[in-house]
Amino acid sequence: MTTDATAPWLIVGLGNPGPGYAANRHNVGFMVADLLAGRMGGSFKRAQKAQAQVLEGRVGPMGPGSRRVVLAKPLSFMNLSGGPVAGLRDFYKVPTANIVAVHDELDIDYGTLRLKLGGGDNGHNGLKSMTKAMGPEYHRVRFGIGRPPGRMQVADFVLKDFSSVERKELDYLVDRAADAVESLVTEGLERAQSSYNS
């Protein structure tokens, strides 16, 4: 699927709002979005047309290689992400193929990245809500968090903070995920996959 080179991109970090959730595994999408905002030299502001925080800017090298992006963090809870994302898509006139969801992924080992276009939601409530609102044909940057240990419930696992061992690598891994998002937007899916899919 080709994307319109002049259309903006909508990069959505998925997570739950509020300080109590900030360091949870489920909020790694917010962590990547915050890092990208820092790289863009801006700060999030409340969107007027959707329940989300947004930052408009550019990613990539200055000149024809840079891309106009809207960076977003939905302020709904994770399982209601689709409404705010669809609202931003309509307001900024973003093709669905130019949307990137950055999210945690249980079925991938901790820290492993996988980029793809379309597909199922794999039980992820944020993706389920987005797909219900817009269909499945958006990009995903999947950040592996691994499976819960022992008999721990999935819901408990994703709503817990990263472990002390995981936190030793977390800054590096979030940085690498942000690199992958920028590569996807500026160089295309295939090149980004060859660099970052492991």
Name the residues annotated as catalytic. 26
CB 126 within 8 A of CB 166: no
Q: Assign 3-class secondary structure to 120-175.
A: CCCCCHHHHHHHHHHCCCCEEEEEECCCCCCCCCHHHHHCCECCHHHHHHHHHHHH
Element (H, E) at 58: strand 52-59
| Structure token pair of residue 75 | 């302020």
CB 136 within 8 A of CB 166: no
CB-based contacts of 178, cutoff 8 Å, min separation 6: 32, 35, 36, 39
- In three-state secondary structure terms, 7 is coil
